[in-house]
Amino acid sequence: MSESHSIDRLRQALKRLPGVGPKTAQRMAFHLLERDREGARLLAEAINDAADSVKHCVRCNNFSETETCAICTSPKREAGLLCVVETPADLETIEQAGAYTGLYFVLMGYLSPLDGIGPDELAISRLLLILDEYPVTEVILATNLTVEGQATADYLADQFSSREIVISRLARGVPAGGELEYMDSNTLNQAFADRRAIH
Amino acid sequence: MEKRRVANEPAFLLHRRPYTESSVLIDLFSRHHGRIVLIAKGARKLKSRWRGSLLPFQPLIAAWSGRGEVKTVTGIEGEGPSCGLRGKALYCGYYMNELVLRLLHRFDPHEDVFDNYANALALLSTEEDQERVLRIFEKQLLRDLGYGMHLVRDADRGNPIDPGERYRYRPDAGPLPYSDTDHHGVSVHGATLLALEEEVEFDERTRRESKRLIRSVLDYHLGGQALRTRIVYGQMFPPESGRNRLTGS
């Protein structure tokens, strides 16, 4: 209680990070002050800088420092393909995998009624504007294969149903290197439902 | 203190949220131990065997251990196929989850609520009248938690409810004979109260009145805090205008 106001403020601020509780926040705060003042200044500067300069790309809604991000302005990307993902982290993962060459749209979340997140809280109206404005021929719904991700995909598919575009969903089933013996029954059932002919 | 272990417990997952790098914090509704919060360690990792089982609206068999407020999952798997809720039924399911989360205390077992919940979920995926499924679940839930509604006798003299009469239902008291001067409570026909009691088919008026009635009773017990799933449902399926509002145009 007798501690300084600054330390307490730092602790409260660190607690805002996901997965950081009071104990961890305290450990972080003391580490920065005791052992790494330089790091503390760097961190403060980097956060300040990012909070000021990072915006949303007007086209894909991903974080970007420029009005339109590098992927959206790249001439190498297929402009007719639009992959809808939940988060910037999902986009990064797909980019690292490297096989997808189209453009993206980042919803910045998923429908989650229990958390009070409905269509109005997601960037869905912007996504519809993008479809009006650009020559998209196929929308790939790459939301997560959770119940919420599926609900989000269902909702979007319903919203697009009147448009003349192909709407597809990521395939699901047995993962690479997967052994059937250790597969959960949901995944296995889905793999059977989505099986495909090989010739 | 002895470390408490529970195995082979029938349960439903009510809600999940990411916790630390790769774990998930889940709200489980179990048959014999009521509502509990557990951590499923490593459940977001690619190799986790639990990943495919941590889904709502699916009968689960769970095992856990721990002595604190938050238990640790030691096993969880699906028992039988998922209820497969899609479209409106899915959002009705979320609504039921929120009611259970908000109205049941932790570690307070309610086997009757559990069985009614399982039954209502199964009905949601098959029955067309989803509103009726919800109303009956709500009525049973209130009754099992000790907030039972008065549906057969009025709260004034204890006279039997007359299906042809109108009443004013007050959440804190029950149905009182209708009067033009008293504006407390919700106006309902006796037939609506009896339809809820007997769980018969609903006609249009019963559907409309029972919705307003139970909503007022629930709001009373929820202390006026809005239900999030109800707000989202309103966004997803606006009452009249079709889809204009949803597209934001």
Nearest to B78 among A111, A128, A185 (CB): A185
Distance from CA of B6 to the nearest CA of A (A): 22
Classify residue A133: in a domain, yes or no. Answer: yes
Q: Find the closest chain B residue to A177 by CA distance.
A: B47
Query: Count of domains in chain A?
Result: 1
| Residue type for position A161 | S
Torsion of CA A10, A13, A15, A17, to 10 degrees: -130
Give B166-225 pLDDT, tens digit per residue: 999 999 899 999 888 878 889 999 999 999 999 999 999 999 999 999 999 999 999 878
Q: What is the pTM of this model?
A: 0.83
At residue B2, the pLDDT reads: 44
With cut-offs at 50, 70 and 90, classify the pLDDT of residue B240: low
Whether B225 has its CB under 8 Å from any CB of chain A: the answer is: no
Give the three-state DSSP class for B48: coil
ipTM reported for the complex, 2 dp: 0.77
Distance from CA of A30 to the nearest CA of B (A): 21
Q: Find the closest chain A residue to B229 by CA distance.
A: A113
Range of the domain at A141: 71-169
> Domains in chain B, ordered, with CATH?
5-78 (2.40.50.140), 87-247 (1.20.1440.120)
Whether B29 has its CB under 8 Å from any CB of chain A: the answer is: no
Whether B46 has its CB under 8 Å from any CB of chain A: the answer is: yes
Classify residue A6: in a domain, yes or no. Answer: no
Give A13-37 pLDDT, tens digit per residue: 999 998 788 999 999 999 999 999 9
**In contact, A49 and A42? CB cutoff 8 Å:** no
Classify residue A76: in a domain, yes or no. Answer: yes
Burial class (CB in 10 A: 0-12, 13-18, 19+), A129: middle
φ and ψ at residue A52, rounded to 5 degrees: -85, -40
Nearest to A125 among B56, B232, B247 (CB): B247
Give A151-196 pLDDT, tens digit per residue: 999 999 999 999 999 999 998 888 888 888 878 777 888 899 889 8
Give B127-149 pLDDT, tens digit per residue: 778 999 999 999 999 999 999 99
Percent of chain B's residues with pLDDT above 90: 67
What Å distances lie between residue A13 and A6, A8, A32, A121, B39, CA to CA? 10, 9, 13, 25, 25
Contact across the interface for B90 and A147, Cβ inside 8 Å: yes
Contact across the interface for B86 and A18, Cβ inside 8 Å: no
Nearest to B232 among A118, A128, A159 (CB): A118
Classify residue A135: in a domain, yes or no. Answer: yes
Give A107-157 pLDDT, tens digit per residue: 999 999 999 999 989 999 999 999 999 999 999 999 998 889 999 999 999
Whether B52 has its CB under 8 Å from any CB of chain A: the answer is: yes
* CATH code of A80's domain: 3.40.1360.10
Classify residue A12: in a domain, yes or no. Answer: no
What is the 8-class DSSP label of residue B4?
A: P
Distance CA B132, CA B138 (A): 10
Classify residue A10: in a domain, yes or no. Answer: no
Classify residue A75: in a domain, yes or no. Answer: yes
Classify residue A140: in a domain, yes or no. Answer: yes
Whether B82 has its CB under 8 Å from any CB of chain A: the answer is: yes
The residue ranking higher by pLDDT, A73 or B242, is A73
